[in-house]
Amino acid sequence: MLTRRGVLMGLFATALAPKAALARPKRKIFVLDPEYRPQYVFFDSSYRPGTVVIDPRGRFLYLIEDEFTARRYGIGVGRAGRAFHGVARVGRKEKWPRWMPTKNMIRRQPEKYARYAGGVAGGRNNPLGARALYLYRNGRDTYYRIHGTTEPWTIGRAVSNGCIRMVNEHVMDLYARVPVGARVVVI
């Protein structure tokens, strides 16, 4: 049987409970596999320092430091990323870039992408993430991008759309290290 004192004690305990205990449960925190975190690795190559080498099958991007060392980043690779090969240059870079689905994306999945046909302003909910490096060949945009993502769990995987995805913090690091005009090789 509840007494007045018992009810008051219960109310008092609830009032003193930490706010976190009263809040809705949060989503599970994503933890990136350490293999896909930026790290310096041995990379025996003939590429010049500053070259970006992308290995879509291996799901890694390398920024060449010297003839034996590269800074390696984990990537997620979209359909466009699996189809693009060869050499390009970073033609421009954008902080918090605007995103617009391609006509093919809208045609394939109109229920998902048609509402964004006018584009999405840059920001935390933008699919291109925090930074984008736009790749050009012969002075023309290839529509191939190295960009951040709002879906970090896609790193290390083949993903449905997009080009080369990186964790936002990682693409921000790469963005600071790679100048416009840098050579990019997709193997």
Tokens of 57: 């099958």
pLDDT of residue 50: 97
Has residue 9 been placed in a domain?
A: no
Does 26 fall in a domain?
A: no
Q: What does the pLDDT read at residue 13?
A: 45
Tokens representing 27?
């989503």
Residue 44 lies in a domain: yes
Number of domains in the chain: 1
27 part of a folded domain? no
Q: What is the domain range of residue 159?
A: 34-186
pLDDT of the residue at 163: 85
DSSP states along 89-119: EEEEEEES--B---HHHHHH-HHHHGGGTT-
The one-digit pLDDT tens for each residue of the chain (187 residues) are 445 554 444 444 444 444 444 455 556 677 899 999 999 999 988 999 999 999 999 999 999 999 999 999 999 997 655 577 899 999 999 999 998 888 888 898 899 889 989 998 998 888 899 999 999 999 999 888 999 998 899 999 988 666 899 999 999 999 999 999 999 999 9
Q: Is 13 a known active-site residue?
A: no
**Element containing residue 69 per DSSP (H, E):** strand 69-74
Residue 76 lies in a domain: yes
* Residue 184 phi, psi (nearest 5): -125, 130
127 is catalytic: no
Exactly one of 128, 135, 146, 163 is catalytic; name it: 163
Tens of pLDDT along 124-165? 888 899 999 999 999 999 888 999 998 899 999 988 666 899
In this prediction the pTM is 0.80
For residue 38, give the amino acid letter. Answer: P
CATH number at residue 160: 2.40.440.10
Asked if 113 and 105 count as a contact pair (C-beta separation under 8 A), the reply is yes
Q: Which of 13, 6, 60, 11 is nearest to 37 (CA)?
A: 60
Q: Is residue 8 part of a domain?
A: no
Residue 77 within a domain: yes
Spell out the residues 6+ positions from residue 8 whose beta carbon is closer than 8 angstroms to its own. none
pLDDT digits (tens, 9 = 90+) for 116-125: 899 989 988 8
Single out the catalytic residue among 72, 145, 147, 170.
147
- Written as one string, the DSSP assignment of 43-58 is ---SPPTT-EEEETTT
Stated as kind and residue range, the H or E segment containing 171 is helix 168-177
Does the residue 38 lie in any domain?
yes
